[in-house]
Amino acid sequence: DAKTTQPTSMDCAEGRAANLPCNHSTISGNEYVYWYRQIHSQGPQYIIHGLKNNETNEMASLIITEDRKSSTLILPHATLRDTAVYYCILTTSGTYKYIFGTGTRLKVLA
Amino acid sequence: NAGVTQTPKFRILKIGQSMTLQCTQDMNHNYMYWYRQDPGMGLKLIYYSVGAGITDKGEVPNGYNVSRSTTEDFPLRLELAAPSQTSVYFCASSYSGGLAKNIQYFGAGTRLSVL
């Protein structure tokens, strides 16, 4: 299964953009990049996903490099409620299993 | 819609006891999953199911059993509880619409301690 690499932790000032990177150099052609977040010890919450084009929704933007070996999740105006662990996940073909890493712990500072 | 509902929210077991963690979803999703999360770690897949009557092992299936008799329910069984099974357990479900639509919806979790 393809793996992802994320920084362990990041800080961001409230109101600023939070840019969370993810490396996935062994991604295969039909694998999507999914982003989830986990606030405190709640169940993970879906944020956004993409294949090769940049994507945007009401929560965030996803930028995927042209070679698809890395991506960046952008929270355009971070708030204190965005403090969470963010997971970058590659879907596996066939059975739709997720392989979670340890994620990035984002702390939004007032 | 309630989404994915897990019961109980908390449980303390003695070593060797057994219990069933319940999970039900009302979104008519074919795919369901069980994960465990140890402190400071990401989630690890225990078992998953692609439909009623079909289950398969994930990364860490030892010590657990599952069944899927209906689309809605996916219970997880611990037969002989061990301290190593102290963890937070999450159930999830997803629509089987292909890789482009594999959004998993998670329950609130069951916090289990085995003493």
Identity of the residue in A30, A97, A101 whose CB atom sits nearest the CB atom of B42: A101
Contacts of A49 in chain B (CB under 8 A): 100, 103
**More confident: A66 or B102:** A66
Chain B interface disruption, residue of A35, A96, A105, most B CBs within 10 A: A96
pLDDT at A28: 85
Reported as a single tens digit per residue, the pLDDT across A22-36 is 999 988 888 889 999
Q: How confident is the model at residue A1 (pLDDT cuts 50, 70, 90)?
A: low
Q: Give the chain A residue nearest B9 (alpha carbons).
A: A42
Q: Which DSSP string corresponds to chain A? A: ----B--SEEEEETTSPEEEEEE-TT--TTPPEEEEEE-TTSPPEEEEEESSS-EE-SS-EEEE-TTSSEEEEEETT--GGG-EEEEEEEBPTTT--B-----EEEEEE-
**More confident: A42 or A31:** A42
Q: Give the residues of chain B that fall short of pLDDT 70.
A: 1, 97-101
d(CA B1, CA A68): 36
Chain A interface disruption, residue of B33, B102, B110, most A CBs within 10 A: B102
Q: How confident is the model at residue A100 (pLDDT cuts 50, 70, 90)?
A: confident
Contacts of B32 in chain A (CB under 8 A): none
Residue A2, pLDDT above cutoff 70 = no
Reported as a single tens digit per residue, the pLDDT across A43-61 is 999 999 998 889 999 999 9
Neighbouring-strand partners of residue B38: none
pLDDT at A31: 85
Residue A92, pLDDT above cutoff 70 = no
pLDDT at A10: 97
Residue A94, pLDDT above cutoff 90 = no
Contacts of B59 in chain A (CB under 8 A): 99
Q: Please check whether residue B109 touches A, CB under 8 A.
A: yes
Residues in chain A whose Cβ is within 8 Å of chain B: 30-32, 34, 36, 41-46, 49, 51, 87, 91, 93, 95-103
